[in-house]
Structure 1
Amino acid sequence: MGRRGRIAGIVAALAVAGALVAVAPMAEASPPPAPNVLDPSPPGSNDWSCEPSEAHPNPVVLVHGLSANQANNWGYIAPQLAGAGYCVFSLTYGASGPPTVGGLAPMEQSAEQLSAFVDRVRDATGAAKVDIVGHSEGSLMPDYYVKFLGGAEKVDRYVGMTPLWDGTETAGLALLNRTGQQLGLDPVLRASLDPVCGSCRQFLTGSDFLKKLNSDGGPAVEGVTYTMILTRYDELVVPYTSGLLDGATNIVLQDGCPTDLAEHVAVAFDPVTLQHIRNALDPDHATPVRCTPVGPDAPTAATS
């Protein structure tokens, strides 16, 4: 599936309530199953014998976005971080299928899955804490784990790509959702859309999920170091400034690299983004970010 296909699928899931889609029941929160052909790990990820080095003591947990999975979201970044000496781990959460499509469960449930996975990583590596690198939903959902499920004691650095702390107004869907609620249609939307994509309405500006995450001083949790990476060309996070987070180091790619045209999906395959991630994970050895021209689309092979 190319970039346009993934975008169309997300918008259709939000806009067409009552679609007759058969979805397998969501799994209970538990450590991820052994690797299988339906949910392969990306290159460089999930080596459970990896021992963190003194230079990189925190394992890195990669958290994919809506409608993605660990393999198609992290085909570029996972091997790059592993090659730099990090112990890299990834999971597919909130999934239905086959084919495996992740991020569909309500984010509270996905946060429980992430919690179990982080505990498994810590047990396997002996590390006290992990660093999280997330994309899209993976930049937002983990904060529920950090803020409400005890993750603040287990997460050191938290890097988000194309985040949306204030939600998104994509295609006017947030307004349509609010209008439907005002007209008393919320039970209809909940019964028809939520079984297909329990997380979809949670992304919309003004959702109950976002209100809870932004309560009591905001999403940022004391003791966790946040870095947010945004792109002005984000067509799914509208406005892109929804990704700005108080208490974080906020990076807009085009501020330092005007020739970086990466949109929402392509950010995960962007060498400029990768440099920012490596600096965020190891700020004591940060290097100047070299501006490289980047096209707007993710590589076709990486998003299929």
Structure 2
Amino acid sequence: MIRGFISLSVSIVLLLVLVSPAGAAKRVTAASEKDPVVFVHGFTGSSSSYDDMKQWLVSQGWPSNYLFAIQYSNTTGSNINNAYELESFIKNVLRQTKASKVDIVAHSMGGLSTRYYVKYLDGAQNVDDVITLGSPHHGTNSSYFGLWTEGAREMVPGSAFLNDLNSVDETPNGNDSTSVIQYTSIFSSADTVINPYTSSIIDGADNVEISGVSHSGLLTDSSVRPLILNGLKDGGENSN
């Protein structure tokens, strides 16, 4: 009977630890060790493009309530307007999660609005890591097929928008010198949408070239995911 009483007492103590405020605080701390991730779609894209990637990041330890995908109101519109939408979206993410910074994963044209947000809006103080997937940082000849849209016109090589975005510093960092923004640009030599595919190379980033993956495949191919994971970890988890 004494052994039974001791066993019951130990069980009660363990239960109290698990449900106590201190135990709850430990679980919250574990979840918040990672930055929230904001996913940014590209030209004619959709927030649903990231559904599989979000599930994969959950399997890698990200809380599901730390993963957010923006849906731009005009998927072929100006990157400048999109950047302002991204600014508002990220403010809400930070308010909701109580985090100090976010990481961004952006596909295709989404990388341009992301960089504009960092360079000209409040992204410099709100972003930890930036990962772009097949982004036309220096334009793409494919954009000539969509010149009736503002987004495509901005992606024409040598456009005023791109010249301004790439002036002075292609990968601007935040105003905290102890916590710079880490940039990773992942691109594929098999990407026929970004022409030339080397347009994705930007000064100051970790530029990672792969092969055999299409433009849309950058969102789903299993060979890309470890590279994204490395990009998200480059700046350290909640190191700010």
TM-score, normalising length: structure 1: 0.62
> 2: CA distance between counterparts of 1:58 and 1:271?
22
Corresponding residue for 1:57?
34
CA distance in 2, matches of 1:157, 1:55: 16
More helix by percentage: 2
Contact 1:169 1:204 in 2 (8 A): yes
User: Hey, what's the Cα distance between the residues in 2 that align with 1:126 and 1:116?
Assistant: 15
Give the aligned partner of residue 198 of structure 1: 150
Tell me, yes or no, if structure 1 residue 267 matches structure 2 residue 218. Answer: yes
Measure, in 2, the Cα distance between the counterparts of 1:213 and 1:53: 37
Whether 2:189 is the aligned partner of 1:232: answer yes
| 1:150-165 equivalent positions in 2, closer than 5 A | 150-165=122-137
**1:2-36 deviations in Å (ceiling 9; x for gaps):** xxxxxxxxxxxxxxxxxxxxxxxxxxxxxxxxxxx
SS in 1 for 2:129: strand
- Kept after mapping to 1: 8 A contact 2:188/2:210: yes
The answer to whether the aligner puts 1:211 opposite 2:157 as a matched pair is no
Identity %: 31
Deviation (angstroms), 1:284? 8.2
Choose from 87, 107, 112 the match for 2:84. Answer: 112
User: Could you say if the C-alpha distance between residues 55 and 105 of structure 1 is closer, same or farther in structure 2, counting changes exceeding 3 Å?
Assistant: same
Deviates most, 135-144 or 81-90: 81-90
SS of equivalent residue, structure 1 residue 75: helix
User: Which residue does 2:107 correspond to in 1?
Assistant: 135
Q: Which of 254, 273, 276 in structure 1 is aligned with 2:227?
A: 276
Whether contact under 8 Å (1:65, 1:136) holds in the other structure is yes
The separation in 1 between residues aligned to 2:32 and 2:227, in whole angstroms, is 18
Matched, 1:80 2:56: yes
| 1:240 counterpart letter in structure 2 | Y
3-state SS, counterpart of residue 150 of structure 2: coil
Alignment of 1:10-49 (within 5 A): none
Q: Is the 8 A contact 1:52 1:125 kept in 2?
A: no
What per-residue deviation string (whole Å, max 9, x for no partner) do you get for residues 158-192 of structure 1?
Answer: 00000111101228x39xx9xxxxxxxxxxx7xxx
- 1:140–1:160 CA contact under 8 A, matched in 2: no
> SS at 2:106's partner residue?
strand
CA distance 1:94–1:203, shift in 2 (3 Å): farther
| CA drift at 1:218 | 2.8
Q: CA deviation at 1:266?
A: 1.1
Q: Output the CA distance in 2 between the equivalents of 1:221 and 1:234.
A: 26
Equivalent AA in structure 1 for residue 59 of structure 2? G
Give distance in 2, aligned partners of 1:137 and 1:284. 23
Is 1:245 paired with 2:240?
no
Mark the CA change 1:140 to 1:268 in structure 2 (over 3 Å): closer, same or farther.
same
In the alignment, the residues of structure 1 paired with residue 156 and residue 33 of structure 2 have an alpha-carbon distance, to the nearest angstrom, of 36
After TM superposition, the score normalised by the length of structure 2 is 0.78
> C-alpha root-mean-square deviation of aligned residues, in Å?
2.2
What secondary structure is seen at the aligned counterpart in 2 of 1:250? strand
Code of the aligned partner of 1:156: D
Structure label with greater radius of gyration: 2
How far did residue 224 of structure 1 move? 1.3
Structure 1 runs of 4+ aligned residues shifted over 6 Å read: none
2:46 is aligned to: 69
Give the gaps of 5 or more residues in structure 2: 1-27, 174-179
The whole-number CA distance in structure 2 between the counterparts of 1:152 and 1:284 is: 14
1:55 shift after superposition: 6.9
In structure 1, distance between residues paired with 2:129 and 2:163: 23
